[in-house]
Structure 1
Amino acid sequence: MEKIGFVGVGLMGHGMAANILAAGYPLTVIAHRNRAPVDDLVAKGATEAKDLAALARACDIVHICAPGSPQVEGIVDVLVAEMAEGGIVVDCSTSNPVSTEAQAARLAAKGIGWVDAPLGGTPVQAEAGELAAMVGAEPEVFARIEPVLKTWAGTIAHVGGPADGHRMKLLNNFLAMGYGALYAEALALAEKTGLGTRTFDSVIRGSRMDCGFYQTFMGYAVEGNREAHKFTLTNALKDMTYLSAMAGGAQVSNPMGAAIRNSYALAVNTGGDGGEDYVPHLVDFIARANGIDRD
């Protein structure tokens, strides 16, 4: 079987790696800041590499789950030097497509394949092996990687070549972060006009305006569950910044994207802690900006 490496076994990566391991693939992982996921995977049968170079040399296919393009680029710096020809790198991060194209070209020059497979879903879905993957890869590379993707993804959409998966992911997050910005402003207006959050929710929930994202957002806004949707404000701002760059490169007017980005920039720059504050918490920042006390 293919020998799999996994770099970034955090909120999403731990579940993905556990499912790869459960499917019988030999798995090598590497620790970063939090040892708990690594220790759990090693207890299940994974091997821990002493460093990234050792992981690269030991594996045929290496998954990356990193915060963004700068981190992915640093990881690829090592992989391109240490992986054997015929290997494959799978970037599951939400990355800048311009950077993605450059990393794919660097690896191709060394005979190493590239797959961008950004994720749709939550850590709960990652643990269950039910994530969605938007995949950019050459057809022959996709054919080889698909059985591995199926260990952790319930839905796989091969949308095109290298970087197309990341383009699709940015469009997906454009919609998702847009929902979050709309909900936060709608709730501020509901509070300010006297309707209130619960009245708003009683009308929208179950209507045509309801959706899965609405329900996890309201899991915090209405029910107070701080971990209802564990995607940080910092990551939301990063993704909307990448979307802006993509729109600029395509010379497409993107005023809605700019407005959404500004909502998350407001939160991050007025105290949003990327380690603690998640997208549904945007409702608190928009409320405070409008003189509303949600406590």
Structure 2
Amino acid sequence: MSDSKNAASHIAFLGLGVMGYPMAGHLARAGHGVTVYNRTTAKAEKFAAQHGAAFAPTPRQAAEGADFVFSCVGNDDDLRSVTLGPDGAFAGMKSGAIFVDHTTASAGIARELYAEAKKRGLGAIDAPISGGQAGAENGKLTAMCGGEPEIYAKAEPVMAAYSRACRLMGPPGAGQLTKMVNQIAIAGLIQSLSEALHFAKSAGLDAEAVIDLIRNGAAQSWQMENRTGTMLAGAFDHGFAVEWMRKDLAICLAEARRNGAKLPVAALVDQFYAEVETMGGKRWDTSSLFARLERK
């Protein structure tokens, strides 16, 4: 990542959810002029008051005059709603402005928006993120990017306000494909950790002591370091929600059908998450796969 300090820019940020709100805050604190848009206007008003920023009633108005337009929304349809059409951001962006999307979405929508941006004389980068709410709040996200190198080079120093790792992975859509790899890996890791803890308890072992020992060996992972305690405590009211992971896994499985990849574990874990949802865990943390195994 570049260490050079980026000159202050005029920035629009679309979507102030659990990730977008703190990310936009980092941009404001970095000295950029920020205008925000959110579907719920009250949250945009709160952000503006907190950070001395501006807010706009439509994505188009937020994007007018901006050097960079960032978005972090829910899915492909949400992306189309904030970018396309008469009130979409693309209608308000000036020639040469750059659109950077942090939504976890399909590679198809990334390519679609890139092509539309190109027609309008705009740049576009798909840049899904990893690191969760804590990473967003602490400015330590990982951004996986797809797009043209020269456009990425302009956007990367601005993304440095909230990222500790940022890399161009290939052409448009490559960022979204890389995020799919990330989610596939996480799904298998959480299920494996859940089974390990469940087995330890069933075998009469002190699960906490077991983890304290094996975390020093080859089994160590971020999930083991950050989720073991809460899993054993049955606390799942935090972190990345099951319904969001299922949305992401659906994207992964759809892409696998297109490219011929075999994802038997990811498909099975998605079914397990469906069971967690029937247990009332739609908004539980993804580590709640453990609760599914522990239920009587």
- After TM superposition, the structure 1 stretch with the greater mean CA deviation from structure 2, 263-272 or 193-202, is 193-202
Alignment of 1:158 with 2:168, yes or no, is: yes
- Structure 2 residue corresponding to 1:93, chosen from 98, 103, 110: 103
Q: Contact 2:245/2:286 (CA < 8 Å) preserved in 1?
A: yes
Aligned to 2:262: 253
Alignment of 1:268 with 2:277, yes or no, is: yes
Aligned to 1:167: 177
Q: Report the Cα offset of residue 40 of structure 1.
A: 4.0
Q: 1:219 to 1:76 in 2, by over 3 A?
A: farther
Post-superposition Cα deviations, 1:101-132, rounded to whole Å, max 9, x if no partner, equal 11211222212211111112132222222211
TM-score by length of 2: 0.88
- How many correspondences in the alignment? 286
Q: Distance in 2 between matches of 1:251 and 1:230?
A: 31
Post-superposition Cα deviations, 1:247-266, rounded to whole Å, max 9, x if no partner, equal 11111222122122222222
Aligned to 1:234: 243
Q: 1:244 to 1:8 in 2, by over 3 A?
A: same
Q: Report the Cα offset of residue 281 of structure 1.
A: 2.1
Q: Distance in 1 between matches of 2:165 and 2:53?
A: 25
Alignment of 1:3 with 2:47, yes or no, is: no
The within-5 A match list for 1:171-210 is 171-195=181-205, 197-210=207-220
Q: 1:130 to 1:222 in 2, by over 3 A?
A: same
Post-superposition Cα deviations, 1:201-233, rounded to whole Å, max 9, x if no partner, equal 344333321222222221311355545x61010
Q: Distance in 2 between matches of 1:226 and 1:266?
A: 15
Letter in 2 for 1:27: V
Q: 1:177 to 1:41 in 2, by over 3 A?
A: farther
Q: Report the Cα offset of residue 141 of structure 1.
A: 0.6
Secondary structure at the aligned position of 2:142 is classed as strand
Q: Report the Cα offset of residue 34 of structure 1.
A: 8.1
Post-superposition Cα deviations, 1:85-109, rounded to whole Å, max 9, x if no partner, equal 2222111011111222112112222
Secondary structure at the aligned position of 2:161 is classed as helix
Alignment of 1:104 with 2:111, yes or no, is: no
Letter in 2 for 1:129: G
Q: Distance in 1 between matches of 2:265 and 2:187?
A: 11
Secondary structure at the aligned position of 2:35 is classed as strand
Q: Distance in 1 between matches of 2:278 and 2:99?
A: 34
- After TM superposition, the structure 1 stretch with the greater mean CA deviation from structure 2, 209-218 or 142-151, is 209-218
Q: 1:207 to 1:80 in 2, by over 3 A?
A: same
- After TM superposition, the structure 1 stretch with the greater mean CA deviation from structure 2, 53-62 or 146-155, is 53-62
Instruction: Give me the identity figure in percent.
Output: 27
Aligned to 1:43: 50
Letter in 2 for 1:42: A
Q: Report the Cα offset of residue 2 of structure 1.
A: 2.5
Q: Report the Cα offset of residue 155 of structure 1.
A: 1.0
Post-superposition Cα deviations, 1:11-47, rounded to whole Å, max 9, x if no partner, equal 2212211111111110011233484575145322211
Q: 1:264 to 1:226 in 2, by over 3 A?
A: closer
Q: Contact 2:15/2:39 (CA < 8 Å) preserved in 1?
A: yes
Letter in 1 for 2:265: M
Letter in 1 for 2:266: G
Can you give the 5+ residue segments of structure 1 that lack an aligned partner in the other structure? none
Q: Contact 1:233/1:282 (CA < 8 Å) preserved in 2?
A: no
Q: Distance in 2 between matches of 1:257 and 1:224?
A: 23
Aligned to 1:60: 67
TM-score by length of 1: 0.88
Q: Distance in 2 between matches of 1:80 and 1:32?
A: 17
Q: Distance in 1 between matches of 2:234 and 2:292?
A: 15
Q: Contact 2:146/2:172 (CA < 8 Å) preserved in 1?
A: yes
Can you give the 5+ residue segments of structure 2 that lack an aligned partner in the other structure? 1-7
